[in-house]
């Protein structure tokens, strides 16, 4: 090998190393951003599920709600909070979650709540489920305890 070939080879390895470092940096930033988005979605979805449950069972849940969210003093304020969550989720949620949340806010019932939970579960973890709506219902006795 001539000196020119050796210099070219060193330059090529140097450029390759530089390209690999840049690629690793790009992939690392993208992964970090994705992980943060996932953590944020999990946190928001958990809060939404709890607020949804409190809305459906407001009379029973208003005391615990007052402890954890003293700023919410009525069922109407709770519904307004869920509407705000729905508007905010347009930044991070999948289309199916946004539509399921819209249906829940409009109907405020258990069925649409369960549809929302299933949509969130699929959005977060890609879980394909065979659970039916009745599988997500607890007997009223179990809920009261």
Looking at residue 26, what is its pLDDT?
Answer: 81
Q: Print pLDDT tens along the chain (145 aa).
A: 677 776 676 666 666 675 677 677 788 888 888 899 899 999 999 999 999 999 999 999 999 999 999 999 999 999 999 999 999 999 999 999 999 999 999 999 999 999 999 999 999 988 877 777 777 777 665 555 4
DSSP H stretches of helix in the chain: 3-56, 58-68, 75-88, 95-107, 110-125, 140-144
Distance from C-alpha of 101 to C-alpha of 7, rounded to nearest angstrom = 62
Distance from C-alpha of 86 to C-alpha of 52, rounded to nearest angstrom = 11
**Domain map of the chain by residue range?**
34-144
Roughly how many angstroms between the first and final C-alpha of the chain, as a whole number?
83
């Amino acid at each position: 090998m001539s000196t020119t070939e050796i210099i070219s080879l060193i330059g090529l390895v140097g450029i390759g190393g530089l390209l690999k470092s840049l690629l690793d940096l790009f992939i690392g930033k993208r992964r970090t951003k994705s992980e943060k988005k996932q953590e944020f979605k999990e946190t928001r979805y958990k809060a939404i599920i709890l607020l949804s449950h409190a809305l459906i069972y407001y009379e029973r849940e208003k005391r615990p709600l007052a402890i954890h969210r003293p700023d919410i003093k009525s069922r109407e304020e709770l519904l307004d909070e869920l509407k705000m969550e729905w508007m905010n989720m347009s930044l991070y949620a999948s289309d199916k979650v946004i539509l399921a949340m819209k249906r829940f806010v409009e109907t405020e019932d258990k069925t649409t709540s369960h549809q929302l939970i299933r949509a969130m579960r699929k959005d977060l973890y890609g879980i394909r489920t065979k659970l039916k709506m009745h599988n997500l219902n607890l007997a009223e006795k179990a809920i009261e305890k």
